[in-house]
Amino acid sequence: MKICTICNLEKTIDQFPNLVRSPDGKYPQCKLCKSNIDKQYYKRKAEKVKSNANKYYKSKKDIILNKRKNNDHYKIYNKQYKQLHKEQLKEYNRTYKQQYKPIRNEKRRNRLKKDQI
């Protein structure tokens, strides 16, 4: 017979779970109390895991929100840049088109040839 350290009831040795490293080879708690302890432990663990996941999500959320904010900043900057350099951009686009017009035409011609074949 053995007394459980949790419920203080005297129970037969077969009502205690096995524990190799203990002197009598049994847990100090009975099977019933041990299972309750385990349940509580896993419950606590689950809550910890949940809270960790929550923390991770929150930190990730911050990053996402930050990114979005930065993106907005970038958009505003782009808009401002376009407005400030309207003429320059127009000029750039014109020269770009002129520069690549022959190449584009060449490509188009080649494509047309391919289509004919």
Distance CA 46, CA 38 (A): 12
Question: Smallest distance from the beta carbon of 53 to Zn ion, in angstroms?
Answer: 33
Q: How far is CA 93 from the centre of its chain?
A: 41
Distance CA 32, CA 92 (A): 81
**CB nearer to Zn ion: pick between 14 and 115:** 14
Instruction: Tell me which residue of 19, 20, 3 sits closest to 11, measured CA to CA.
Output: 3
Q: Six-digit token pair at 108?
A: 């188009």
**CB nearer to Zn ion: pick between 25 and 109:** 25
**Taking a C-beta distance cutoff of 8 angstroms, is the pair 90, 84 a contact?**
no
112 binds Zn ion (CB under 5 A): no
Pick out residues in 5-34 that bind Zn ion (CB under 5 A).
Answer: 6-7, 30, 33
Q: How many residues bind Zn ion (CB under 5 A)?
A: 5
49 binds Zn ion (CB under 5 A): no
**CB nearer to Zn ion: pick between 7 and 112:** 7
Question: Smallest distance from the beta carbon of 44 to Zn ion, in angstroms?
Answer: 19
Per CB under 5 A, residues contacting Zn ion are: 4, 6-7, 30, 33
